[in-house]
Chains A and B, each alone.
Chain A
């Protein structure tokens, strides 16, 4: 059975800190790993990772995938209060029309002043 585990479950940091969120997975026929940021409405897409060792970057956020050790990390540098959200990791596995997306339960990040 496909599984995605995120850690920590929740985190409180001060503005300006750097945080690292973890996502480990077990999936049959890995296709991609996705990171989402969830605030009050639908999760918003952050990154899709398919290849090991290639860092994806968007502003203060970056992410990298290790397909050998089956995990990914999401880094946020110089955190701001607007980064407070739940960060979801999801892994797509399977082949063709049999693929599915398995979500972790998220890491709740709170950034305080």
Chain B
């Protein structure tokens, strides 16, 4: 275990549903990240939080809404998603953002949008 957990591990949702992905890290890190890994595409950075403040939003559609209530928890709220949003969503954490510290990845949530 890397110290980063994600729930649920698998999620199937309809386009009109609202769901949330959860990430928790037990490493005492201050930076947390959401990534999207689509089939046959490079890993895409979505959001970065550093000390609970969002420092990066890589032109992510508003149907994805992140929330970081504290340095240990990160959520990704989903609503009115599209089938092309089906992907593996990975959470990672590191001691701080913008440095060359290793990012520790969670196991991911496999999302299928019907």
Q: Which A residues have a C-beta under 8 Å from some C-beta of B?
A: 1, 36, 38-45, 85-86, 88, 90, 97-103, 105-106, 108
Contacts and interface: CB of A to CB of B under 8 A. Distances in A.
Contacts of B9: 100
Contacts of B49: none
A105 B102 contact: yes
Interface stretch (B61-69, B72-80, B104-112): B104-112
B43 interface: yes
B98 A101 contact: no
Nearest to B40: A48
Count class of interface residues, chain B: 20 to 34
Contact of B104 (A41, A85, A105): A105
A100 B104 CA distance: 15
A2 B96 CA distance: 27
A58 to B, nearest CB: 13
9 contacts: A40-B99, A41-B98, A42-B43, A90-B105, A98-B10, A101-B88, A103-B104, A105-B102, A105-B104
Interface of B: 1-2, 9-10, 12, 33, 35, 37, 42-45, 88, 90, 98-100, 102-105, 107-108, 110, 112
B96 to A, nearest CB: 11
Q: Which 10 A-B pairs have the closest CB atoms?
A: A42-B45, A45-B42, A103-B105, A106-B102, A100-B107, A97-B110, A100-B108, A86-B102, A101-B108, A40-B98
Contacts of B99: 40
A11 B90 CA distance: 27
A103 B90 CA distance: 11
Nearest to B88: A101
Contacts of B107: 100-102
B43 A108 contact: no
Contacts of A97: 10, 12, 110, 112
Given A100-B88, A106-B102, 18 more contacts: A36-B43, A38-B102, A38-B103, A39-B100, A40-B98, A40-B99, A40-B100, A41-B45, A41-B98, A44-B42, A88-B102, A97-B10, A97-B112, A100-B9, A101-B90, A101-B105, A101-B107, A105-B2
